[in-house]
Amino acid sequence: MVQSLPTQTNKYMEDNSTLNNLQTTLQAAKTGAAIYDSSDWGKILVGDRDRLRFLHNQSTADFEKRQAGEGCDTVFVTSTARTIDLATGLILDNEVLLIVSPNRREYLFNWLDKYIFFADRVTLKDVTASLASFTLMGDESSAILERWGCPNLTELTQSSHKLYHVDGIEVRIAIGTELGLPGYRLIVNRSDSAALQQALTNLGAVILGEDAWECLRIAQGRPKPDAELTEDYNPLEVGLWQTISFSKGCYIGQETIARLNTYKGVKQYLWGVKLAGAVAVGTMMTVDGEKVGVLTSCSEIDGEIRGLGYVRSKAGGVGLKVMVGDVDGEIISLPFVRHEYPI
């Protein structure tokens, strides 16, 4: 059953001056540089000898092939392959730093702890309170970090990470952003967070607030818990194929995911929706009066009302005309997700 979700239409719709500031910030996140404080995202250190095998068995990504300095996105799912959270793992020398959604930190910590058995050499530590994190995104983000004192960033591969020491700050920089936009994740001690943000804004980065982040999230198609990531949907319906290894061994939810892939059994997909007006999330999408999906997020982006929603695969995809309640809508593609079965 689809969960009831709160309306997420953006408060900036009613304030033209603030809307202009929002649009300027959104533009900086694409063609300039914008910094988003993601310190409230959960951070869990997974340690000891069996850490890679443990995460390998508990999520969709292949952790056992990863080396220190690498990273990957992964999905935690239930035994029936329903989504819990989309997370990122950064492989350190003796630990894995797991970055999870803010409202999934405590749940995932307890969930992982439940699966540590007597013979497992695995430790868990919640370090959210001691580590701050930022996302620096936009075409100028590399130039800003290099001017700050972090050279050769463009030589690093996607999802890899490296430790730098600049102006007395120890900062781990990971290549890529949560939104799939060009940029970096920066992780520092909480005590250095203000100094880091000040240094980057002094070099030209614009601060990105929560409302702007939500706009970008919807525009890119990044799913979030309690909206697109719920126990109503599996990772293939979400379009998170890039987070799933189909060649590794068993893991929680693997049987269901493998069967859906083998028999091409995905019955609905996450799409973007361009809307003629604001609509409350949870509103049904119809074609000729027949229900074909549901709206899960909605906001104003670059002067347009945009949303995310699930649509039955048999109804169609990009270009499909729908009614969302009594508002006209059209299905559009999303940069962050994809819906093609792997070859």
19 in any annotated domain: yes
97 in any annotated domain: yes
Calculate the CA dihedral of residues 180, 184, 185, 190 and round it to 10 degrees. -150
SS3 (DSSP) at 224: coil
141 in any annotated domain: yes
337 in any annotated domain: no
Q: Residue 203: count other Cβ atoms within 10 Å of its Cβ.
A: 15
Query: Can you say whether the dihedral through the CA atoms of 239, 114, 232, 181 is positive or negative?
Result: negative
Asked if 168 and 149 count as a contact pair (C-beta separation under 8 A), the reply is no
146 in any annotated domain: yes
* Pairing mode, strands 71-77 and 123-126: unpaired
328 in any annotated domain: no
Q: Domain residues for 20?
A: 15-262
Q: Report pLDDT digits (tens) over 109-137.
A: 999 999 999 999 999 999 999 999 999 99
306 in any annotated domain: no
Rg (CA), the chain: 20
Q: What CATH number corresponds to the domain at position 101?
A: 3.30.1360.120
Task: Provide the domain count of the chain.
Answer: 1
162 in any annotated domain: yes
Q: Report pLDDT digits (tens) over 183-206.
A: 999 999 999 999 999 999 999 999
pTM: 0.92
How do the pLDDT tens digits run along the chain, 343 residues long? Answer: 333 333 444 433 344 444 557 888 888 888 899 999 999 999 999 999 999 999 999 999 999 999 999 999 999 999 999 999 999 999 999 999 999 999 999 999 999 999 999 999 999 999 999 999 999 999 999 999 999 999 989 888 889 999 999 999 999 999 999 999 999 999 999 999 999 999 999 999 999 999 999 999 999 999 999 999 999 999 999 999 999 999 998 999 999 999 999 999 999 999 999 999 999 999 999 999 999 999 999 999 888 999 999 999 999 999 999 999 999 999 999 999 999 888 7
